[in-house]
Amino acid sequence: AQSVTQPDIHITVSEGASLELRCNYSYGATPYLFWYVQSPGQGLQLLLKYFSGDTLVQGIKGFEAEFKRSQSSFNLRKPSVHWSDAAEYFCAVGADGNKLVFGAGTILRVKS
Amino acid sequence: GAVVSQHPSWVICKSGTSVKIECRSLDFQATTMFWYRQFPKQSLMLMATSNEGSKATYEQGVEKDKFLINHASLTLSTLTVTSAHPEDSSFYICSPIDGGHNEQFFGPGTRLTVL
């Protein structure tokens, strides 16, 4: 069965610092991988996705993620965090028929 | 981006009552609808999948007679929690698929608290 692990429940970074959110997945076939952001009162917003091809994926808001098959990872990165990036971030793997299996989420706090 | 609305955004009800949650896709037709549930400090868990005009398919462990899903039109799906109990208190999120573009969107969620 598919599963997603986000090892960090909370992460705090200073504004302007770099960010990396970890995601590991378990999936038998070639995975479809996603990163979503959830702000209070808002629906999940897609940051980026990987289906195939270039393993470094660029997303919105300056985020990128790298698919590493050997490590079963799909870590999210941003070179310089802004205060508005504070939110909860979910990694997900696409199972059959658009079904998504989500990780537990990582809450990002940004300190000024 | 596409707009998905959920109503109500939050609801408090007494144990034993039923609650209906509406999910609307405002600018696209949702051929498929997923309903997720998110308990505090946990991830989203898929409850069921429905296609317009057909019966929903429920994930293992989700009671179909308790969580009634209606997907009667391409812009509206409803989830009714029947005879709600405190353990049903959760955050319910709909996720429609834009059939024309094969894109998935998420509603803002409905916070259900059962007393």
Contact of B83 with B66, CB cutoff 8 Å: yes
Q: How far apart are CA B91 and CA A42, in angstroms?
A: 12
Q: How far apart are CA A63 and CA A76, in angstroms?
A: 7
Contacts of B28 in chain A (CB under 8 A): none
- CA angle B65–B71–B73, rounded 5-degree value: 155
Question: Does the pLDDT at position A28 exceed 80?
Answer: no
Peptide bond into B108 cis (omega under 30): no
| Confidence band, pLDDT 50/70/90 cuts, at residue A33 | very high
Contacts of B41 in chain A (CB under 8 A): 9, 104
pLDDT tens-digit map of B44-53:
999 999 988 8
Contact of B45 with B36, CB cutoff 8 Å: yes
In 3-state terms, what secondary structure has residue A53?
Answer: coil
Specify the pLDDT at position B83: 96
| Confidence band, pLDDT 50/70/90 cuts, at residue B107 | very high
First to last CA, chain B: 36
Question: Does the pLDDT at position B1 exceed 70?
Answer: no
CA distance A18 to chain B (A): 25
A103 touching chain B per CB within 8 A: yes
Specify the pLDDT at position A57: 96
- As a whole number, mean pLDDT of residues B80-84 equals 97
Specify the pLDDT at position A74: 97
Residue B43 and residue A102: Cβ atoms within 8 Å?
yes
Using CB atoms, which residue from A98, A102, A103 is nearest to B32? A98
